[in-house]
Amino acid sequence: MLRRLSVDSNCKGGYTCPSVWWDDDTPNELIIVGVLGVDGMVPLSEGEVAVRVRWSLRATRAGPDHWNRRLSARSRAGAAPRDPVGRVPAPSRAEPGRVSEAGGSAARHELAEGLRSLRRDAGLSTTELGRRLGWTQSKVSRVERGITLAKPEEVRQWTLLLGAEPELGTRLVDLAQELGVALTEWKKAMAPGRRRVQEEIRALEAEASALWEFSFDVVPGLAQTAPYAEAMFRLAENLAPPGEVLAEVVAARMARQAVLADETKRFKLLFTETALRRRLISAADMRAQFTRLAEVAALPTVELGMIPFTAAETTQTYHAFAVLGDPDRDGGAVVLAETVTRGLVIRAAEEVRDYIRHHEALAGAAVRGEDLLTAIRELSAWTWG
């Protein structure tokens, strides 16, 4: 049960007055969930004002009243509340509905609070609710604090189990659906370096049981040669952070291809004929790329297809994308797509399935197997000499 600890009545305006909650199900933690200011309670987001306070041994012995007194004393002194190891959370005036750099938002706060209220109204502990949902207690607790984002189907399960009013249940599921799509500015996403991004994608691929990729007018990343990959990264040098070593970025992409040898996985890679006609690298390097495509096509884990100019297409191509993981088998299946300025990550299971169905529709116009190898040989001879 989540209980609010009283805040000293002498705490005045300004962003210094903590609202502190004590969770009976997690007795070794205090949670600062809001800061009382002149505009009312400002919700806290992870990495900003939201701070998960883990007690030191001394604090645990002292109990919650001790920390309530300490936090109130700091408020009267005009200081921001500190956690037991002395970090000071930075106050935030986050606009409602606007996702902060740390990932917090009014929508995320509303979802977490709505789910928590349903549990408390039902008189269940996080442990008991976790048992009924088939979750761990820690997952329930993290979802209620907005640290872990529940999937729409998980929110639906939660609301149905606890008998939420239909309107509220729909609202919470819609929030989970909206939060399941993330847009990240490239400048921020690439700040740690493009090598790091390749390593993060490699980790996602390692967890996925299946992968669907439609790379449109470029060779799929998992089938690229090093010269081709280097050319692609050079075309996007505006995204490179200062001091980046291009060779390391290329090496990170090439390292991803080791996953193709994992016979427990399946890869469906699709591209258009345009990819084999673009003048991105020298003729010699492109012929080596053709050879690599033939090698990848021969792998037992891979289904490689090309949509030729002469194909009778049955659906719009729209844009390039990759689906990492099967939403019916893998817990973290995602869709990755790109715009000029942002990267798109879709986690909602039904949307992921929509992208898989779209990939299958596109693949209906593709050539594979011997027909693909014949097309590759002809393009190599006619276009690249």
Residues 148 and 197 in one domain: no
Structure tokens at 122: 């039902």
Q: Is 65 left (phi over 0), alpha (psi -120 to 50) or beta?
A: alpha
Residues 365 and 306 in one domain: yes
Domain assignment of residue 311, yes or no: yes
Question: Which residues partner with 50 through β-bridges?
Answer: 46
Boundary-marking domain end, from 146, 179, 212: 179
Residues 161 and 234 in one domain: no
3-state secondary structure at position 303: strand
Residues 189 and 174 in one domain: no
Residues 353 and 320 in one domain: yes
Residues 157 and 214 in one domain: no
- Which phi and psi angles does 343 have, rounded to 5°? -105, 140
Residues 54 and 172 in one domain: no
Boundary-marking domain end, from 150, 179, 208: 179
Domain assignment of residue 157, yes or no: yes
pLDDT at 190: 72
Boundary-marking domain end, from 179, 208, 230: 179
CATH number of the domain within which 258 lies: 3.30.870.10
Domain assignment of residue 95, yes or no: no
Residues 173 and 204 in one domain: no
Domain assignment of residue 352, yes or no: yes
Show the 3-state SS of 102-145: CCCCHHHHHHHHHHHHHHHHCCCCHHHHHHHHCCCHHHHHHHHC
Domain enclosing residue 56, as ranges: 2-76
Residues 188 and 172 in one domain: no
CB 278 within 8 A of CB 333: no
Residues 375 and 291 in one domain: yes
CATH number of the domain within which 121 lies: 1.10.260.40
pLDDT at 269: 98
Q: Is the pTM of this model over 0.85?
A: no
pLDDT at 361: 97
Residues contacting residue 116 through CB under 8 Å, at least 6 positions apart: 2, 144
pLDDT at 76: 38
Domain assignment of residue 93, yes or no: no
Strand pairing class (321-324; 302-307): unpaired
Domain assignment of residue 64, yes or no: yes
- When divided into structural domains, the chain yields a total of 3
pLDDT at 105: 63
pLDDT at 202: 95
Domain assignment of residue 81, yes or no: no
Residues 211 and 338 in one domain: yes
pLDDT at 313: 92
CB neighbour class for 144 (10 Å; exposed up to 12, middle 13-18, buried from 19) = buried
Residues 288 and 320 in one domain: yes
pLDDT at 342: 83
Domain assignment of residue 67, yes or no: yes
Residues of the chain where predicted confidence (pLDDT) is lower than 50: 1-104
